[in-house]
Amino acid sequence: MSIEGILVGLVAIVVGAGWAFYGLRFFTIILPIWALFFGFITGMQWGQDVFGQGFAGTVTSWIIGGVLAIVLAALSYFWYYFAVTFAVGALGYTLGVGLMDLLGIDSGLLGLVAGLVVGGAFAIITFVLGIPVVLIVLISAISGAAAMVNGALIILGRIKVEDLDSGLLSGLMTDSTIGVIAWVAIAVVAALYQLRGVGEAVTAVNRSAYRY
């Protein structure tokens, strides 16, 4: 187990847990952190697919991931409506890329395009129609749980950081028996936990949104 793997695994578990269990209550605080993590992983993926760099294996891929992470995190922190739209779009992107991987289609640029199309569609629909509170809970629970499980699998040595080269879903499917079961179980528990205090959480989010 490399230092890099341990670091990525721990960050994925901590950030994923915060997003999965407190995504709604601390939406305006945790989402920028989630955007930082998501942007970093996605940026390294782009470095691999677009520029032919190794995933997390070169300085260039780390720079691309870092820049995208900072941009998304900053936008999520300072612009509330972008934050909400990003949360849904990010899940759509993950599903789009993951679907190509599940179908056995060589991800690469095609997977990137599929992710951008699905993510863009999700984001546009969210921006135009608005997003129900329950949907925020589901999105944060599902995506946060995926990050947690990937982080645990990396630390346990069942998958490598490179297995995330097609997104969080590709990491789960690399060890699908344990990965998918744990993902679904944690997502359900996290969603139920958030829904218990949904009233107070909505009030907290509304108060925080005034700063934008």
Single out the residue of 143, 138, 144 nearest to residue 14, CA to CA: 144
Residue 21 has pLDDT above 80, yes or no: yes
Are 175 and 164 a contacting pair, CB within 8 Å? no
Q: In the structure, what pLDDT confidence band is assigned to residue 91 with cuts at 50, 70 and 90?
A: confident
Range ranked top by mean pLDDT from 20-34, 137-151, 166-180: 137-151
Locate tokens 């995933």: which residue? 55
Q: In the structure, what pLDDT confidence band is assigned to residue 212 with cuts at 50, 70 and 90?
A: very low
Q: Which residues contact 192 (CB under 8 A, 6 or more apart)?
A: none
The confidence score (pLDDT) of residue 74 equals 81
State both tokens at 161. Answer: 């950081």
Are 96 and 114 a contacting pair, CB within 8 Å? yes
The confidence score (pLDDT) of residue 210 equals 47
C-alpha torsion angle, residues 76, 80, 81, 84 (rounded to 10): 60
Single out the residue of 73, 82, 33, 80 nearest to residue 208, CA to CA: 80
Q: What 3-state DSSP class applies to 53?
A: coil
Q: What is the pLDDT of residues 27-77, one digit of tens each?
A: 777 878 888 888 887 777 777 666 666 655 666 777 777 888 888 888 777
For the chain, give every domain's residue range.
3-209
Locate tokens 């395009």: which residue? 113
Q: In the structure, what pLDDT confidence band is assigned to residue 184 with cuts at 50, 70 and 90?
A: very high
The mean pLDDT of 171-197, rounded to a whole number, is 85
The confidence score (pLDDT) of residue 10 equals 92
Single out the residue of 24, 12, 13, 17 nearest to residue 138, CA to CA: 24
- How does the average pLDDT of the chain come out, rounded? 77
The confidence score (pLDDT) of residue 182 equals 93
Largest CA distance in the chain: 47
The confidence score (pLDDT) of residue 204 equals 53
Q: In the chain, what are the helix, strand and coil shares in percent, each to the nearest 5?
A: 85, 0, 15
Distance CA 207, CA 61 (A): 38
Residue 211 has pLDDT above 50, yes or no: no
Higher pLDDT, 100 or 149: 149
Q: What percent of the chain has pLDDT over 90?
A: 13
The confidence score (pLDDT) of residue 205 equals 52
The CA-atom distances, in angstroms, between 46 and each of 17, 65, 73, 207 are 25, 8, 17, 36
State both tokens at 7. Answer: 């670091």
Are 118 and 95 a contacting pair, CB within 8 Å? yes
The mean pLDDT of 173-196, rounded to a whole number, is 87
